[in-house]
Structure 1
Amino acid sequence: MSRRILPLLVIALLAAGLGFWASRRAHAPAVPALPTLPATRAVTLLPTPRVLPAFALQQADGSALTPDTLKGHWTVVFLGFTHCPDVCPTTLAQLAGAQKQWATLPAATRPRVLFVSADPERDTPQVVAQYAHAFHPDTLAATAPVPQLEAFARSLSLVFMKVPGPSSDATDYSIDHSAALVLLDPQARMAGVAQPPFDMKGIAADLETLTQSAR
């Protein structure tokens, strides 16, 4: 091959490569942009929703609560336990007020509250449901064996820990747990968080706005 032909061949190959790249780029499917969510005043939204690993919690009727159970609604997740002396009943009572505000929204898209007990040793799914429904009948309630609970909590950046009580009684213990509320979007992805002290009226208004924006 002559020295004059070699540069021309290189140029031709580069041109062909650039042409192929441009053609692929022109025909590549467009990546859909993430929808722009309205501004919130009490809930901090994540820049990008976090896809959660698969989970299956136990409900009182024997069915599993999975990501599919939560899809289609914005969901507020609260981790606690039924023997909680103050934080849990206070927060669930506040959330019940928000749920009353959401009652005017269509049931098919209405925001929901999910209470998950981190104390499966004492809180059966039936006990958790009875406790949660005393605050509001629409509250979803579930629990699971500790390993599954730990994985679920960790995926939401929440923690809990069993703390022994002063006596030797095996049932004398408490549960230290995160008090934050975690917001899941209608695709059951972690989309936001609210930290105490809660502006519950603001949270209720944020969820109502987010629900209406998704229509």
Structure 2
Amino acid sequence: MFNRTTLLILLVALATGAGLLTAEYVFNRRSAAGPELQTVRRLSTPRELPAFTLQQSDRTPLVPGELRGHWTVVFIGFTFCPDVCPTTLSEMAQAQKQWETLPETTRPRVLFVSIDPERDTIEKLGEYAHGFHKDTLAATADIPSLEAFAKSLSLVFAKVPLGDDAPADQYTMDHSATLIVLDPQGRMAGIIQPPLRPRAIAEDLIALTTAGK
């Protein structure tokens, strides 16, 4: 469980890391190989991810190899989220509708990873994600695995009690709102930062997919 000191450290790290990461992506945006993009900021050199294992909503394991062959947009959140998560998934669903005509074998994917396994059961997570778009992948894991996965993507999250006297099950989750873009090799290749523009996201992902990059 995170205490307030840990939360403060994480939020400072998030702000600092986001600034440095943004600078890296902005600097490399024009030099990155591939089509001209509107909202996806690409790394000049994609980053290999360390090994990870998550559990998908259909109870099958999600490992790095499962993400190969498609451009994938990753977002961390939780089903009890009152605003950022449903808004993000709704906006991504708008983008997903625009690339539905692409072949299923190469169609971009959206992966929603719950960082609240205490309350987000596998069944609830799948129902929640698919309520926005039927193709959205949903997964979670234990906290140590989620922390390692988030860290590998330069993301952070923290459990925050709603008050000193609140019951243990009364809390929220603070988390990064940045979306991570993985290339067809499963490497971290770019980011998308809020505010999101669904049409621009769709056009960028379609361009990347059809360019075969």
Q: TM-score range by the shorter chain?
A: 0.7 to 0.9
Counterpart for residue 49 of structure 1? 46
Q: 1:18-167 to 2 correspondence within 5 Å?
A: 36-166=33-163, 167=165
Q: Distance in 2 between matches of 1:131 and 1:79?
A: 14
Q: Distance in 2 between matches of 1:194 and 1:91?
A: 11
Q: Secondary structure at the match of 1:127?
A: helix
Which of residues 200, 205, 208 is equivalent to 1:207?
A: 205
Counterpart for residue 172 of structure 2? 174
Counterpart for residue 20 of structure 1? none
Q: Distance in 2 between matches of 1:175 and 1:157?
A: 17
Q: RMSD in angstroms over aligned alpha carbons?
A: 1.2
Amino acid at match of 1:109: T
Q: Distance in 1 between matches of 2:39 and 2:192?
A: 7
Residue 105 (structure 1) shift: 0.5
Residue 36 (structure 1) shift: 2.9
**Aligned-residue identity in percent:** 61
TM-score (norm 1): 0.82
Q: Distance in 2 between matches of 1:128 and 1:153?
A: 18
Which of residues 193, 196, 199 is equivalent to 1:198?
A: 196
Residue 59 (structure 1) shift: 1.3
Counterpart for residue 23 of structure 1? none
Paired residues in the alignment total: 181
Q: Distance in 1 between matches of 2:33 and 2:168?
A: 50
Structure showing greater Rg: 1
Q: Distance in 1 between matches of 2:87 and 2:57?
A: 23
Amino acid at match of 1:186: P
Residue 100 (structure 1) shift: 0.4
Moved over 6 A (4+): none
1:84-140 Cα distance to aligned partner (Å, 9 max, x none): 000000010000011100101011000000000000000122211110000001000
Deviates more, 1:120-129 or 1:149-158: 120-129
Deviates more, 1:53-62 or 1:182-191: 53-62
Q: Secondary structure at the match of 2:100?
A: helix
Q: Give yes or no for contact 2:58–2:126 (8 Å, CA) kept in 1.
A: no
Unaligned 5+ segments in structure 2 are 1-31
